[in-house]
Amino acid sequence: MIWLVMIACGLLTFATRFVMFSGLAPRRLPDWLEDALGFVPIAVLTAIIVPAVITGPEGTLFIAGNSRLPAAVIAVSVALLTRSVLATIATGLAALWCLEWFVY
């Protein structure tokens, strides 16, 4: 069964890449698809970051006494205000370190 899954995934991966280089696909994506693809990075990063912020070492929900949660709120606020990736990362890390050092 695992070989069937691996072969199917390999063929699907090959097909998606082959279509783009073969000339079978249109040169330009439809506007609605380009608009929808603009949300992919936000969705992926949210799916990666949120579990890292709200789960504890045991994999359980960790809200009380969690220094990552207020640091994430501060980082999101800076991201909304500045629209700068470097400012967001720097502020988020500084907030996390300060919260770890002085508060928690």
Domain ranges of the chain: 1-30, 38-103
> In this predicted model, which residue has the larger pLDDT, 9 or 58?
9
For residue 99, give the nearest of 52, 66, 62 by alpha carbon. 66
Q: For tokens 């992926």, what's the residue?
A: 44
Residues whose CB falls within 8 Å of the CB of residue 69, separated by 6 or more in sequence, listed in order: 53, 54, 63
Tell me if residue 55 falls in helix, strand or coil: strand
Please state the rounded mean pLDDT for residues 35-52.
Answer: 93
pTM over 0.85: no
Dig out the tokens for 61 from the structure.
Answer: 């929900």
Q: How confident is the model at residue 104 (pLDDT cuts 50, 70, 90)?
A: confident
